[in-house]
Amino acid sequence: MAFAGMRDEEDLEGRDFAVPGFRARGAAKAREVGKALRKGLSRADHDRFVPGDDRPAVLDVVEQANEGRLPELVPLRIGRMVATPFAFLRGSAGLMAADLANTPVTGVHAQICGDAHAGNFGLFGASDGRLVMDVNDFDETVRGPWEWDLKRLAASLVVAGRVGGAGEELCRAAARDAAEAYRKTLVLLAGMPVLEAWQAIADESLVWHAEAHDLSGVLERVSAKAHKNTSARFASRATVELADGRRRFVPEPPVLTLVDDATAEAVAQSLAGYVGTLSPERRPMFERFAVEDVAFRVVGTGSVGLRAYVVMLEGSGDEPLVLQVKEARRSALAPALGLADEEHEGRRIVIGQKIMQAVTDTLLGWTTVDGRPFMVRQFRNKKGSIDASTLPAEQLDDYARMTGALLARAHSHSVDPKLLAGYCGKSEKLDAAIAAFAVAYADQTERDHEELVGAVKAGRLPAETGV
């Protein structure tokens, strides 16, 4: 019995749909496209690093990066950068981008972190209460060559290992294993159904995938601390209760300082615009909060000197919520990539973060304060981190594999993992090349750091150390 509209099997024909935003039927397989890229750029050629003749002077780059920052905090930023070569690398994403612009690339662009050094991975709380580990800093995020992130990660592992006293072969092995984990994770994701790969979350199972068994104890300790690292805990330590029951931040200069009434009012009023950038179902929640106080809080190394505020909100319950309102500047990678200014740099950061992370802060948004772009996020959202420069050698290698795997998953949201897996392949050619580049760039970083230290000693740059 035939139903109306049915045809015999021999009469059936495939339909061709050309839908904007979707892959065209019959298009070349992504894995094959990736393999074909090797003809234009051998995987072994990623080992190249030779400083260009037009390489900008280290001090010029540092001084340019200080422009627009609060001048009273510039010595603190310089002081943090001179502490170690790893600290210098953390604060010089723009300099490395200028160097990477002279290295070979496949031409495949992903949403990249832009500052994927070993210190920019960490734990944070997901909306369901779980702790996840992922890339966690997106100030420099842009569309750019995927190789730039991988090379910055690998180089940072060598620098961090040297600072921590690891032997040279162990440092090279960490860089090599980060690249290997990146490559193998892409192969794993490429073999999964699209939705399953897209929704892959980096939880405790990542330890086993990355074979980071020696790191499990460290992760357990960091996780235990992260669970306690909340807005409420910060507020209880950083504020005092006034006679009328309201709470106010207590200054702890230079890290935490009070702001004048005009600044506090401008930041508080900007939250109305911020709420409008959240998904609609989140917005009614803020009707249950009132702004209690605003303070200035210094953060990071590369971010020192930017305007960064903490805002304490008091809800209908007893537990406060603290938001961070952080100035968003043009990505340090933009000049090297020839990118135009964004309409709103805070929006760039937020959208980039949402693309790269498996799960993200549900209160992530952006706003404008006194004409300057800012991004907004929860402060102390059960965050935890590992200082790669303090890890024993066997744990550094595990950490390298874990961060390499995390970076691959982050890139897979904006580039088909089959394409990247096709290029990276199953051999160790890419791993060895990335490791060779990492060692060469670590040498360059140490020379650059020495130059900065010399400038500080000579009085050419002000530095406030020990803070």
Give the pLDDT confidence score for residue 396 in this predicted structure: 94
CA nearest 438: which of 147, 90, 153, 115?
A: 153
Q: Is the pLDDT of residue 11 over 70?
A: no
The Cα-based distances of 338 to 56, 265, 332, 335 in angstroms read 16, 37, 11, 5
CA nearest 218: which of 348, 39, 371, 402?
A: 402
Reported as a pLDDT band with limits 50, 70 and 90, residue 209 is low
| 464, part of any domain | no
**Same domain, yes or no: 211 and 245:** no
* End-of-domain residue from the set 378, 408, 426: 378
CA nearest 146: which of 171, 121, 116?
A: 116
Q: State the pTM of this model.
A: 0.93
Q: Let me know: does 104 contact 296? Beta carbons within 8 Å.
A: no
Measured between alpha carbons, how far is 440 from 186 in angstroms, rounded to an integer? 26
Measured between alpha carbons, how far is 462 from 79 in angstroms, rounded to an integer? 8
Give the pLDDT confidence score for residue 2 in this predicted structure: 45
What value does the mean pLDDT take over residues 365-384? 93
Higher pLDDT, 299 or 449: 449
In angstroms, how far is the first alpha carbon of the chain from the final one?
83
What value does the mean pLDDT take over residues 186-210? 76
**Same domain, yes or no: 241 and 207:** no
Higher pLDDT, 229 or 377: 377
Q: Let me know: does 323 contact 313? Beta carbons within 8 Å.
A: yes
Q: Is the pLDDT of residue 336 over 50?
A: yes
Q: Let me know: does 201 contact 358? Beta carbons within 8 Å.
A: yes
The Cα-based distances of 398 to 152, 156, 170, 226, 425 in angstroms read 17, 15, 11, 20, 22
Structure letter (DSSP) for residue 306: S
Least confident residue range of 199-213, 349-363, 437-451: 199-213
**Interior CA angle at 264 toward 228 and 67, to 5°?**
90
Q: Let me know: does 146 contact 408? Beta carbons within 8 Å.
A: no
Residues in the chain: 467
Give the pLDDT confidence score for residue 210 in this predicted structure: 62
Measured between alpha carbons, how far is 442 from 85 in angstroms, rounded to an integer? 9
Reported as a pLDDT band with limits 50, 70 and 90, residue 21 is confident
Give the pLDDT confidence score for residue 3 in this predicted structure: 45
Measured between alpha carbons, how far is 272 from 282 in angstroms, rounded to an integer? 13
Give the pLDDT confidence score for residue 15 in this predicted structure: 77
What does the block give as tokens for 391? 């890890």
| 425, part of any domain | yes
**Same domain, yes or no: 207 and 235:** no
**Same domain, yes or no: 312 and 447:** no
**Same domain, yes or no: 130 and 38:** yes
CA nearest 313: which of 327, 303, 325, 300?
A: 325
Give the pLDDT confidence score for residue 114 in this predicted structure: 98
What value does the mean pLDDT take over residues 397-425? 95
Q: Let me know: does 298 contact 254? Beta carbons within 8 Å.
A: yes
Per the structure, the complete domain to which residue 156 belongs is given by: 30-227+387-457
The Cα-based distances of 19 to 16, 208, 287, 332, 346 in angstroms read 10, 40, 41, 36, 31
| 188, part of any domain | yes
What does the block give as tokens for 296? 């200035």
Q: Is the pLDDT of residue 462 over 50?
A: yes
| 10, part of any domain | no
Please give the tally of structural domains in the chain: 2
What does the block give as tokens for 448? 């650059």
**Same domain, yes or no: 371 and 415:** no
Give the pLDDT confidence score for residue 160 in this predicted structure: 98
Reported as a pLDDT band with limits 50, 70 and 90, residue 351 is very high
**Same domain, yes or no: 428 and 324:** no
- Residues 55-111 have pLDDT tens digits of 999 999 999 999 999 999 999 999 999 999 999 999 999 999 999 999 999 999 999
Alpha helices (H) in 57-108, listed in sequence order: 58-66, 74-81, 85-90, 93-100
- Residues 105-148 have pLDDT tens digits of 999 999 999 999 999 998 888 777 778 889 999 999 999 999 99
Give the pLDDT confidence score for residue 18 in this predicted structure: 82
Task: Output the average pLDDT for the chain.
Answer: 91
Q: Which residues of 158-184 are buried (b: 16+ CB within 10 A; e: fewer)?
A: bbbbbbbebeeebbbbbbbbbbbbbbb
**Same domain, yes or no: 96 and 175:** yes
